[in-house]
Amino acid sequence: NQKPVVLSRSDLERDDSCPFKAHAVEHDLVVDAGELADAGTEGHDIISEAMPMFIAGMEEREIREHIADYAMAARTDVQQIVLDALSRGAWLIANEICRRPDGSSKDPEDIMQFDGGKDRQSGQLARDFLSGDETTAGIRLTCEVDLLTTGYREVEAVMHDWKTGFKEWDSDDIRKSFQFQFYSYLVFAEYPGLERIQVRIVMPRWRYTAVTEFDKRR
């Protein structure tokens, strides 16, 4: 059997928004990166390192200090961008990691999946669409969530996404976003018992969180 063709969220979104750019990136005609992208990766890595610390019992204050301290030690060429994105909003990230939306403390068992997680807690999600023909490859849709936690009830989950760039998101942006429609689709596929996903876009640079919900029944 042929292996499925792997299509990530970023591949599909790039093709949807600009097929020419998608072709150019795929064939190494342009580099789809830059200083802001590198800073975003650096910032995400710093936050991801805090997740095992929370699971191991680290307190919210310690998580906040870890994020602020490691932002100061970021890669030299993007350090100022990372600092601007994370340092003043470290408390917001720590709050999202350690507390439920109602303000109560999270339990490490609330953590379902996260970027950098191991085995079942890996942030990777995938769904295969097989061709039904052994000579034709199927398709595998993939994405990686930043943080997925349990909700108030068994039929709910909360998806946290760290946005360290300059865009200021609101609830309408989230609902219209290819990224979060796609992510929600794969989360619902992975957890068929879920009925609702609360999506929380965390913007430490601007020190606020935008929130909306996706309901499978609508």
CA distance 23 to 1: 27
Beta bridge partners of 127: 141
Q: How far apart are CA 209 and CA 204, in angstroms?
A: 8
Q: Which residues of the chain have a pLDDT value below 70? A: 1-2, 9, 11-33, 131-137
SS3 state at 160: strand
Helix (H, G, I), strand (E, B) or coil at 90: helix
Taking only the tens place, the pLDDT of each residue in 143-156 is 999 999 999 888 99
Whole-structure pTM value: 0.85
Q: Which amino acid is at 24?
A: A
Torsion 40-207-111-158 (CA) sign = negative
What are the tens digits of pLDDT across the range 59-90?
999 999 999 999 999 999 999 999 999 999 99
